[in-house]
Structures are given as structure tokens and as C-alpha cells.
Amino acid sequence: MPIWIQLPKLKVEYKSEGSLKKIAGIIGNVIKLDKATRQKTRLRFARVLVEMKINDDFLEEIHFTNVKDELVTQQVVYKRKSIMCTKCNKMGHSEQKCKWNKGKDKAPKKDNRLWKDKDGFQLVVR
Ligand SMILES: [Zn+2]
């Protein structure tokens, strides 16, 4: 599944097509760079289309070593709209962010559900 990723504040020295393919290649196979990234007309971030598998981790940052052998940490932003959740099969979020992950031991809450405890008190569960 192709996903657009953004690499914010990427240093200009890594913005060549070859460097970007290596960096974004950590995430997945690079399909293409967007026009502004290819022409280096956008400074805030680079945008790359990568092929990811549905079960791949959506790494929030990646690490690579540059030509000076320094370790560089690069933030990765995913275009959430193109992400499909494997838990509920909805688009727009990954399974880590899925609401079904939260409180999976609890029963789904229902509004205005009335029940009596053993002392006869009525409680409203909201
Ligand atoms: Zn979900």
C-alpha cells in the first residue's frame, strides 16, 4: 500500500534523490518524490511516496548515519488518511492509535445503561 510520508526539517544535504531514497527506504520501497521535493522548492519538509506493507511499523523517527559517520535522527510524519487500521479496517489511523486498543478488557460503554447493585442502588453508567 503506497503511503505519503513527510520528513520535516530534513537538512538540504539529504534532499538529493539518492539520499532521500536511502532515508525513506528505511520505511519502505520508495515509489516517487513529490514535485516540490524533486525540484527542492519546499524547504519545510520532503515528501516521499513509499510502498509499505500493512503490518509494517509506522516508525515515528528513523536513524541513519551521514557521510561524516554521524548518527542522524529524522522525524517521519505519515499522511494518516492513507493509513488503514488492521484492527477495525478503517482508514485514517494505525492500529496503535485505534480506539479498540484502549481498555480492551472493558466492555464497550453504553450510555444510560441502568443497573442495580446488591444494595438496590440504581446506577447510571455513562
Ligand atoms: Zn482502528
For residue 103, tell me if it sits in a domain: no
pTM of the model: 0.63
Expressed in angstroms and rounded, the spacing between residue 84 Cα and the centre of ligand 1 is 8
Rounded Cα distance, 28 and 59, in Å: 11
How far does residue 54's CA lie from ligand 1's centre (Å)?
A: 13
Predicted confidence at residue 62, as pLDDT, reads 94
Domain of 55 in residue numbering reads as 2-83
CA-to-CA separations, 9 to 42, 50, 54, 83, in angstroms, rounded: 10, 19, 27, 23
Q: How far is the CA of 94 from the centre of ligand 1 (A)?
A: 6
Q: What's the 23 CA to ligand 1 centre distance in angstroms?
A: 28
What rounded mean pLDDT belongs to the chain? 81
Interval 51-101: pLDDT, tens: 988 778 888 999 999 889 999 999 999 875 566 777 887 777 777 788 887
Task: Count the domains in the chain.
Answer: 1
For every residue of 38-76, DSSP letters joined together read: HTT---SEEEEEEE--TTS---SEEEEE-TTS-EEEEE-
